[in-house]
Structure 1
Amino acid sequence: MKTKNNTLTTLEQFKSKHYGERGSAKREELEAGYENFKIGALLHEARLEKGLTQEQLAEKVGTTKSYISKIENNIKEVRLSTLQKIVERGLDGHLELSIKL
């Protein structure tokens, strides 16, 4: 995005301007939504990489195709324990988390 003085606006500047500084309610809601979207996108990508359909993944995990679809499409939030089950049992992977302060 270009500003009037012809310099580029960074994503961080854009978010601060339109959603407030980090820590504000509106900004935290935006950031949380992005994290949920990212989880769904990562699961979708990993599933395709493994050559699995949503139905096959759901069967391996013991859930429904509809539930997998809702996670991948950011319609439903996934619990950490369920995410771990999907990654480990369904995708034969390993879930890693980190905390950044």
Structure 2
Amino acid sequence: MAMKETIFPISDMSFPFSDVVELNVGGQVYMTKYSTLTESTLHSMFSRNDVKDLPRDNRSRFFIDREGFLFRYVLDNLRDKQLTLPDHFPQKERLLREAKYFQLGDLV
């Protein structure tokens, strides 16, 4: 006899992995707290009922197929709610694309 699947609302679920999340973004590895991700598209990605279906790399880190180098600025913005770029930062347009992808309204 097949078991019936029960789907619980996200608010009723216990978090399916530790509060520290390891991310592989375009080959760059980042570690952050789940609570840091709550105001971006990353939150919806990790709030799914089936996080086991999220892509992972060969070390079980969550894989995000985006620009790895620029993600440090995305993560800094999520942590501090501000963005500080180096002088003469040549990749502003690419960073803007990443901000749009991750739905960071304050950067767009």
When normalised by structure 1's length, the TM-score is: 0.27
Greater fraction of residues in helix: 1
- The higher radius of gyration belongs to 1
Bigger relative CO (Cα 8 Å, ≥ 6 apart): 2
